[in-house]
Structure 1
Amino acid sequence: MKLLGIVGSNADVSYNRFLLQYIQKEYASLFDLEIIEIKDIPMFNQSDDLTDSVMIQNLNRKILQADGVIIATPEHNHTVPAGLKSVLEWLSFKIHPLQDKPVMIVGCSFYDQGTSRAQLHLRQILDAPGVGAITMPGNEFLLGKVKEAFDDLGNLKDEKTRAFLSETLQKFVRFIGVASQLKVPEKLPEEDLHATGKIATTIADVDMHADDWVEQASAKVTPVKGDTYVELDRGILTVDQINGLLKSIPLEITFVDSNNQFLYYNHTADSEKMFAHRKPGQVGNPIGDCHPARAYAHVQAVIAALRSGQTDRVQMPVPTHGPDKYVVHNYAAMHDEDGHYAGVNEYILDIKPIVDFYLKKTGQQLTGGKVDAVSGASQKAAAPQVDAVSGASKKEAAPAPVAPAMPKVDGVSGASKKD
């Protein structure tokens, strides 16, 4: 289970951060907790809309992808800090990732009452139209006299406090399971698998269906070739070196842009020898042309989940290549420097040689049972597998993906547009 912990303070030293770090460490066998900071997020200002900024979109995606959220709030003047309130304004202005998201509130304070008044206000905020979180009722974890609560290693000292925190966290995990049954997944926008639109990098006036699309497109834009240098974000390589590097990677790599046009694959083998039987003539095609119509629903679900930010990666084991291969198809969302969706990087590999090498070198072995696992591996439950479809294979339709449910979007913003 994947949880997101939000530090509700922008202070450099925060006991609420300490509390989340303790939870992250102490309950690692119960869930994976990623901690995120709000201290660098600008104050909400609808006249200076930063919804599409990297910081806001990154937070948006992380909340969408989490099974639940834990917010650790201080108490300032009997309420939540201005920084936390501001972040919630951003998350209810044009985007609504907390809608129907299970949330647990915790908090630390220097005083006896903990953060009781701040937590009460935070519950009201999370219930507001446009925010719409499903906040776990009761089970308030209020840590008072926090300066005395932690030892030098960052652990809670009091046994009763630890026991109560453990109880509330276990209840929250069960609460997430119950809340998930209440959600009705909202249908994601339809993907244009025929790439009828245009984006800034679309090469116009070249037939996408042409077998010689690469040659026609090259004549149109005269791209750099051969020993011409290309400046990358962390290096300078020639085009030939980039091609050689991509061909040397033991993966089948495909790039589909945000317009759903298939633009590249690393041509390391003939089509019949590839796991996904790509052909040179497919490059430039709309992604819909690379799949049979019966697979469109699966392709739609994968791309929509990546584009929406519900997940950054979809993985699918494909056993149809034979018992001597452990082939995994991976689909990773790509984003530009501003955090906007830029397309899909599909990479396919046979992990069996890697597994065999690892077992031989370490002396470990696969154990029996319904699901094989490597001895000594973590006892945490494995993440649910999400089915997907090969980026360019026309031969077989893959099983339908189990895409994460899109949070229901409330039409009313929690931050008034009139103020």
Structure 2
Amino acid sequence: MKLVGIAGSIADESYNRKLLKYIASHFSREVDIELLDINDIPMFNQDEDQTESEAVQYLVKKIKSADGVIIATPEHNHTVPAALKSVIEWLSFNVHPLDGKPVMIIGASYFTQGSSRAQLHLRQILEAPGVNAVVLPGNEVLVGDVKNAFDSLGNLKNQGTVDFIHETLRKFIKFVKVINTIDEQEDSAYESEDLGANGTAETTVDGVDMNADDWVEQAAKKTNAAEGSDYVKLDRGLLTVNQLNYFLNTMPIELTYADENNQFIYYNKYLDTKDMLAPRKPGQVGDPLSSVHPGRAVKHVQQVIHALREGKTDLVSMPVPGNGPTKHIMHYYKAMHNENGEYRGINEWVVDLWPIVESYLKMTGKMLVDDPSNKVDASTGASAAPSTDASTGASESEAEPETPSKPDTDASTGASES
């Protein structure tokens, strides 16, 4: 994987550039990071367009050819340096190399906050219309007291800081793969995927407003739908509607159904909205998919659904960016077909895999450790010196199990499109 690193400082002695150099050198076996210089970039002035200048075009070409970008920002008066802001202005004026590009933010400062306010501001800038970068959520790398952070050889002294940077970089590598897997689909046919559900399906309920909060009640009345103690004959069973609800609402996963017309028509009430891993609201049922996804995700939703509809894949899955040591939430999207093999919509399920992994570790007395042969993905988190529960043989390690996978529709976290 090829990344580029940009230090947001033009100072001769920049600790943020030093931090980037350390990361590029120390983790070179896992990822190739090329440092880019912004010293020759002129201050932004839209009246004197420098887009085609050699300095700006150098950045544009390097960023476009990279899989992702790491930006290290100092903090000047609670915000990013003028030089870095000017660079981003040029990169969102007439050229847009950061559009859809995965970006990781890090930073160092003289004081204990470690450029936290500048990083927050930078995140907002990168997600602005016209920039549209896809910023790794959470996972803030904040190196404080930076004057004392490095030894004479340019290495970070604190092992805890090194380990945290390593863990965050691993997450970013997975994040980059997720975003770029989506964008690899060059075929523009996905754009025909109508998320507004303007067509019809065999089960479309005519005469009921899709966006009505009480769509379920209106549609049920319109179709004389079975309810309560009415029986429903299934492929391998006979259940009442009440029994179906009991059964589905006690599934330990969150289920969602979208039909072939891209209308969101069902989710199981396993948990209240506020407690769900992927929150759904009763009033959303019946809505077209365009109404239940943010604008920034529409392109990716179209790509995923189109791939499933056209049979390019039967299953799309991804871990949620920002998973931690005690959670590993996965989204799965499975194409559904009728008895004739015709596409009939999507079965989405969301599940936190960590309790399953944790139970396995406790039952077997095993633990999660780094795979020394896995130099790029680093797909398993390290279990550092865990103790063992004498009663169960369980590892008390809180390692993070992560597996690279295909993306879901909401992999993008960038700003709305301009």
| TM-score of the superposed pair, with normalisation by structure 1 | 0.46
**Higher relative contact order by CA 8 Å / sep ≥ 6: 1 or 2?**
1
| TM-score of the superposed pair, with normalisation by structure 2 | 0.47
